[in-house]
Structure 1
Amino acid sequence: MKEKLIDFFITTLDFLPSELVVVIISAMPILELRGGLPVAYGVYDFSFAKSYLLSVFGNVLPIIPLLLLFLPISNWLLRFRWYERMYTWLYERTMKKSSNVEKFGAIGLILFTAVPLPTTGAYSACLAAAFFAIRFWYAFLSIVIGVLIAGIVIGALSFSVLNV
């Protein structure tokens, strides 16, 4: 699925500068930095530094709106049955994956964000921070540090795979 989304963005957004395409891919849920950095490095042949900076920037963009707006908007939308079902599913899925966040708070958010596994990343970490009521600045800084670490891990993997 990720490959199809990436192909869609690359072909559909070919009229945009390639740097902006990388930022957009990195800002998307599911794809995040894990999709943007390999595209920047492998498809657009950017340097590692440029790939890393654009991908991190794109992945950090949605953090502030998510941390500030997720709960207020969710509280308003919970009056609709369809959203209540989706919210319950999202809550349960996030709680299953975020035992370290519950145990270690902001430090757990760093680990949760940094580990490049499916369903972990900045979006999920923002939801976990909201569900566990972690203060904004702790959550923001922890998630950004996690994104920076994830970028190094994904960058190293991309570099080693694409330069074999």
Structure 2
Amino acid sequence: MQGVIAAFFISMVPILELRAGIPAGVAAGLNPWQAMLVAVAGNILPVPFALLFLRKILRTLRRTSSRLNRIIARYEQKTLTKAEKVRKYEALGLLLFVAVPLPGTGAWTGAVIASILKIRLKTAVPMILLGLLIAGVIVTSITYGASMVL
């Protein structure tokens, strides 16, 4: 049970996501494929909420202070650079972006990009989920391979 909780909640955290959730679940005693499924579930859970509310939250935060406005503007600009790659292929681009398990990619950034590009919820969520499944298989394969050596 401890492995399920670890994999699920770590995968919900931006930046860590399933790249950290799967190894944490395996380290806590889960089968690598169980860890992957739990991590994908934890990683996808906040995505619809991020898609629905993120732009409104950022807009409100930008009005709070000029310092916060500058930080958010830098974050949006950095995300827009990544979004340009996704814009060309839209839904498929979003899927591929999320599927690559590298820092700066993943469900949270994918949700931000989908929000910026105004990709509809009914399109973005399935593409992000498929991307997470692909990333999960990659991370699980790497983790399982590493655990076989240990």
- Name the TM-score, length of structure 2 as normaliser: 0.93
Counterpart residue number, 2:125: 140
Q: Which runs of 5+ in 2 are unaligned?
A: none
Counterpart residue number, 1:53: 37
| RMSD over aligned Cα atoms | 1.3
Q: Cα distance, 1:93 vs. partner?
A: 1.2
The one of 64, 73, 80 equivalent to 1:88 is 73
Q: Which runs of 5+ in 1 are unaligned?
A: 1-15
The one of 36, 53, 57 equivalent to 1:69 is 53
Q: Cα distance, 1:39 vs. partner?
A: 1.2
Partner Cα separation in structure 2 for residue 126 and residue 83 of structure 1 = 21
CA contact (8 A) 1:114 1:146 kept: yes
Q: Cα distance, 1:77 vs. partner?
A: 2.0
Counterpart residue number, 1:162: 147
SS at 1:144 equivalent = helix
Counterpart residue number, 1:79: 63
* Residues paired across the two proteins, number: 148
User: Is 1:100 equivalent to 2:100 in the alignment?
Assistant: no
User: Is 1:150 equivalent to 2:97 in the alignment?
Assistant: no
Q: Cα distance, 1:158 vs. partner?
A: 0.6
SS at 1:98 equivalent = helix
* Counterpart amino acid of residue 29 in structure 1: P
Partner Cα separation in structure 1 for residue 141 and residue 2 of structure 2 = 25
The one of 89, 92, 97 equivalent to 1:112 is 97
The structure that is helix-richer by fraction is: 2
Counterpart residue number, 2:114: 129
* Counterpart amino acid of residue 37 in structure 1: I
- Cα deviation per residue 1:86-111 (whole Å; 9 max; x = unaligned)? 21111111122233211111111101
| Alignment of structure 1 residues 20-59 onto 2, 5 Å | 20-41=5-26, 43-59=27-43
Partner Cα separation in structure 1 for residue 131 and residue 75 of structure 2 = 21
Q: Cα distance, 1:124 vs. partner?
A: 0.4
- Cα deviation per residue 1:56-93 (whole Å; 9 max; x = unaligned)? 11111110110001011222222121321121111111
CA contact (8 A) 1:98 1:112 kept: no
Partner Cα separation in structure 2 for residue 82 and residue 40 of structure 1 = 38
